[in-house]
Amino acid sequence: MISGRVLQGVVSAHLLAIAGQPVFAGVYLSGDFDALRLHAAGANIVTSIGYLQVIVAVVVWVRLRRYWPFMVSLGVVIAETVQYFAGQDGALWLHIPLGVITVVAVVVQFIAVWRRPLRRTEETARA
């Protein structure tokens, strides 16, 4: 169904955006202080795509009767939001490990939505 394909596209965009964040952080930590501006802009993009992903996951839940994409997306967005504010407050002890966790979570979700495309099964269609 189209909502499953849209979720695949949004998760793919989320993965591309979040993969750039460690690169910008590394460039900043290497001494290029302008990269912090790129890292902040990337954080805004990643967070925005994450919220969009939650909305698409709600549609998948309603239309395809698959709730796991919503639950995973919500968990990722909550972690990204905490990470966002931890980064703004300079709490690197939380920001960096949570960043690693969110990147891994989006990679795992990317694999899941592409490996097992979301379709409405006959059992859920009859219900």
Cβ atoms < 10 Å from Cβ of 109 = 22
Read off the pLDDT of residues 69-121 as tens digits, 9 standing for 90 and up.
Answer: 999 999 999 999 999 999 999 999 999 999 999 999 999 999 999 998 777 76
pLDDT, position 105: 98
Share of the chain above pLDDT 70, in %: 94
The mean pLDDT value of the chain amounts to: 93
Rounded Cα gap, residues 39 and 47, in angstroms: 12
Please name the residue ranges forming H helices in 65-126. Answer: 68-89, 92-115, 122-126
Q: Which residues contact 55 (CB under 8 A, 6 or more apart)?
A: none
Q: Is 91 left (phi over 0), alpha (psi -120 to 50) or beta?
A: beta
What's the mean pLDDT in 50-77? Answer: 96
Read off the pLDDT of each residue in 23-34 and give the average, rounded to a whole number: 94
Instruction: Give the DSSP letter of residue 35.
Output: H
Query: What global pTM score does this model have?
Result: 0.90
Instruction: Tell the burial category of 100 from Cβ atoms under 10 Å away from its Cβ (0-12, 13-18, 19+).
Output: exposed
d(CA 36, CA 16): 18
